[in-house]
Amino acid sequence: MAEPPLVRYSTIGEYHNHFKRVYCRAPLATFDCIEVRFRTKSFGHCFYESSQRNLVKDKFSTRRAERIDWIKAALQDPKSELYCGWDRKKKKYDKTRRVTVISGNYVVVIRLIDTHKAEFVTAYVADSASTIARIRNGPKWYSGQ
């Protein structure tokens, strides 16, 4: 898949309006017919990073934000890599979390509510080899789970 072009706005508000317009008005269907709902409050989790490790997300990430259109592309790409997500609290894989990887290191996470409905969790560029390796070493996700 060829990635969509990067989106470049001059203000955070413009990115926020883009997110609401493209993602929050109606569910987005994945390539395998899962309706993904996006909440406006997900914007902060998706487009902010911690300025210090393991602290509150307090810094707007232009790197994440300019890939705003990659979320849709990833979810609708039938050739994307699909993995089960990791539950940090339970320290085990969670089949209700689907991790989509495109372009080598772009990650989109959704949480399944039932077989055909999900909610968006986050999206990011996995900026370390160990992060993407941990994802790829996990179990593959398949729709019959």
pLDDT tens, per residue, the chain with 145 residues: 788 999 999 999 999 999 999 999 999 999 999 999 999 999 998 999 887 766 667 789 999 999 999 999 999 999 999 999 998 899 999 999 999 999 999 999 999 999 899 999 999 999 889 999 999 999 999 765 5
From 37, 46, 55, select the one nearest 12 (Cα to Cα): 46
Identify the pLDDT of residue 35.
98
The DSSP string of 85-129 is EEETTTTEEEEEEEEEEETTTEEEEEEEEETTEEEEEEEEE--SH
CB 125 within 8 A of CB 67: yes
From 86, 140, 88, 139, select the one nearest 111 (Cα to Cα): 86
CB 91 within 8 A of CB 103: no
Tally Cβ neighbours within 10 Å of residue 51: 10
Residue carrying the six token digits 């495109």: 102
Identify the pLDDT of residue 41.
94
Strands 106-114 vs 117-125: parallel, antiparallel or unpaired: antiparallel
